[in-house]
Amino acid sequence: MGKFVNSIDEFFTFCEENDVQFVDLRFTDIKGTWHHVSYRKSAVTREILENGFPFDGSSIDAWQPINRSDMILKADVPTAFLDPFTADPTVILFCDVYDIYKERMYERCPRSIAKATLKHAESLGIADAAYFGPENEFFVFDNIQFVDNPNEAGYKIDTEEGEWNSNTSYSDMYNSGHRPGNKGGYFPVAPTDSMVDLRAEMMMVLEQVGLEVILGHHEVAQGQGEIGIVFSDIIGAADNVQKLKYVVKMVAHLNGKTATFMPKPIFGDNGNGMHVHQSLWKDGKNLFYEKGNYANLSEMALNYIGGVFKHARAIAAFTNPTTNSYKRLIPGFEAPSILTYSMQNRSASCRIPYGSGEKSTRVEMRFPDSTACPYLAFAALMMAGLDGIKNKDIPIGPMDEDLFELTLDEIREKGIPQMPHTLRGSLESLIRDNDFLKPVFTPEFINAYKDYRFKRDVWPDEGRPTAYEFKTTYQC
């Protein structure tokens, strides 16, 4: 619906036609978490839409100190769409954050960083458009419990599709026995696929909020699904990720279930990724296409891949920003960590999709996951790619063999770089390698982001014993 609102006048007309009672302002923090504040429609004037809405930036993680807390939300009016879940008609607006102290867009606002990335590409004369197509996988569970206390820690998840329920006696229903099993969930029909109607509802609601839905299907793991939507420009694609995550979680919630985009919630089964398709364009031409080359990839596309691979360990701080992210990036679960490229080969970190013609040739980076803030992840990937274009970086490859079959010694012998194995490793790489980001990511932001991730994720995780450590160490 947002595409039909192109001006403030059209916004007010849209509100009148839909009897809108509330205007909900949405903005994204550095974790990728969506925040909101709701205004009564009667309080929203042309003046406040033009000048911005005040809010407290000190109450958002890793943003402003309390003595410089006043910030402004600048509504992006053409993003307007109706919230499909509220009892009263509510219109949602994506917002950017404005820094009143420096009189510019806030350097820690992820959406503003993504916008600046495209402007940087334009200033270099390389591209005037960047298209991104994320694929967000998710799990739907029937129950989740977890505890984290000084003397106890643990979690328990459940899905009716879990093979552990094969011998469960249910008080209100019989045990059907139809379950996908470990790694058995790719494309089974009902009743093994228990989420057909749930995904269909998600797809219908996604269309209500303005996304162009292509398909939905069960993924490899138990309780796992994916919904494919049409690509967009770098900002639109990141906006769409926020919409998709909101809709998936809410539809699951309203159906008495819980959805998560956590990369690796089930030990021994596949995890959730966010494969990211990318291409650069200029004057309506796909700069990644050159007929007759390997996979029809242009030299610029190879340089882009080379830049991403050269900086991948630092990029991972944004594309794989949680400790759980690295439990997914291990061999054997279709989560590639080996930095090479290949046509059609899903074991490579970069896949070139099959049958790509002039309009559809693109590169698919397969290592990111959905715990990433989409604006920061897409911006970091693009900045690395632009750096690769500038420096004519050439990636190792192509490699069409099954890379999951290679041993670590064979990977080293071939000289193939790998993704970091921990979040600490990615953040330490970011400390050493961040010059390629600096035209858009300020040093102040990089330091704040790095410090926040160490304090929130790395150090608390490293300081906690786990159940497996008790299993292996208690009797030593």
**Region of 356 on the Ramachandran plot (φ > 0 left; ψ -120 to 50 alpha; else beta):** beta
Q: Hey, CA dihedral for 45, 49, 50, 54, is it positive or negative?
A: positive
d(C-alpha 77, C-alpha 257), whole Å: 33
Active site residue 135: yes
What's the rounded Cα separation, in Å, for the pair 353 and 331? Answer: 21
Q: Is 212 annotated as a binding residue?
A: no
Check 9, 50, 56, 128 and give the catalytic one: 56
d(C-alpha 145, C-alpha 154), whole Å: 8
User: How far is 340 from 182, CA to CA, in rounded Å?
Assistant: 28
Would you say 279 is a known binding-site residue? Answer: yes
Catalytic pick from 364, 393, 428, 457? Answer: 364
**Residue 271 marked as a ligand binder:** yes
Q: What is the number of other CB atoms lying within 10 angstroms of the CB of residue 163?
A: 14
Contact 216, 225 (CB under 8 A): yes
The percent helix, strand, coil of the chain (3-state, each to 5) is: 35, 20, 40
The answer to whether the annotation marks 50 as part of a ligand binding site is: no
Spatial distance between the Cα atoms of 301 and 348, rounded to a whole number of angstroms: 16
Known binding residue 444? Answer is no
Based on the residue annotation, tell me whether 364 is a catalytic residue of this protein: yes
Active site residue 401: no
Q: What are the C-alpha distances in Å from 388 to residues 94, 235, 244, 438?
A: 31, 22, 31, 15
- Please tell me which residue in 96, 99, 107, 137 is annotated as part of the active site: 137
**Is residue 179 marked as binding?**
no
For the question of residue 275 being annotated catalytic, the response is yes
Q: Does 240 belong to an annotated binding site?
A: no
Q: What are phi and psi of 116, to 5 degrees?
A: -65, -30
Choose the catalytic residue: 233, 346, 400, 433: 346
- On whether 222 is known to bind a ligand per the annotation, the reply is no
- Catalytic choice (366, 387, 393, 457): 366
Q: Is 278 annotated as a binding residue?
A: yes
Q: Which of 96, 107, 226, 269 is catalytic?
A: 226
Spatial contact of 313 and 420, defined as CB atoms under 8 Å apart: yes
Residue 438 annotated as binding site: no
Sole residue written with tokens 């809405």: 53
**Catalytic hit among 135, 239, 269, 393:** 135
- Rounded distance, CA 178 to CA 190, Å? 9
Establish whether 26 is an annotated binding residue. Answer: no
Would you say 249 is a known binding-site residue?
no
226 labelled ligand-binding:
yes
CB 288 within 8 Å of CB 363: yes
Cα(460)–Cα(457) distance, integer angstroms: 6
Q: Check if 366 is active-site.
A: yes
Q: Which position among 219, 387, 393, 457 bears the catalytic label?
A: 219
d(CA 377, CA 372): 6
CB 99 within 8 A of CB 64: no
CB 263 within 8 Å of CB 324: yes
| Residue 122 known to bind ligand | no
Q: Name the strand (E) or helix (H) holding 443.
A: helix 443-453
* Residue 270, marked binder: yes
137 is in an annotated binding site: yes
Is 199 assigned a catalytic role? Answer: no
Whether 137 is catalytic: yes
Which residues fall in the annotated binding site for L-glutamate? 270-271, 328, 334, 346, 366
Binding residues: 135, 137, 219, 226, 270-271, 275, 277-279, 328, 334, 346, 359, 364, 366
| Active site (catalytic) residues | 56, 135, 137, 219, 226, 275, 346, 364, 366
Residue list for the binding site for ATP? 277-279, 346, 359
Q: Which residues are annotated as a binding site for Mg(2+)?
A: 135, 137, 219, 226, 275, 364
